[in-house]
Amino acid sequence: MRAVALLVLAPALAVVLILVLLLFHVDPHLVFLPGHLLRNALQRLGIHAPNAIGVITTVVVWWGIVVIAWFAARRAIRP
């Protein structure tokens, strides 16, 4: 059950979180900041990275935030 939550539920929740942030007019540059930072770093190294790299990086970072929050909530609930 934990694997399903980590591999299915958490990425879906990360995508929904990104969409909700964009829906509430949070600046897209701020929402996709991890992807922008990685693409800029790769460009400084002379590597042309497509936009998909930035989007995937952003989703992975938001996925990590969701997983960390989930583990913290589970730890806080357990006595």
Question: Mean pLDDT in runs of 10 for the chain (79 residues)?
Answer: 82 92 95 94 94 92 92 86
Give pLDDT, residue 74: 87
What predicted TM-score, i.e. pTM, was given to this entire model?
0.82
Helix (H, G, I), strand (E, B) or coil at 79: coil
Give pLDDT, residue 48: 92
Task: Return the amino acid letter for 75.
Answer: R
Domain total of the chain:
1
The residue range of the domain holding 17 is: 2-77
**Nearest C-alpha neighbor of 32 from the set 42, 19, 41:** 19
For residue 27, report the phi and psi dihedrals to the nearest 5 degrees.
-55, 125
70 and 30 Cβ atoms separated by less than 8 Å: no
Give pLDDT, residue 3: 83
Give pLDDT, residue 6: 81
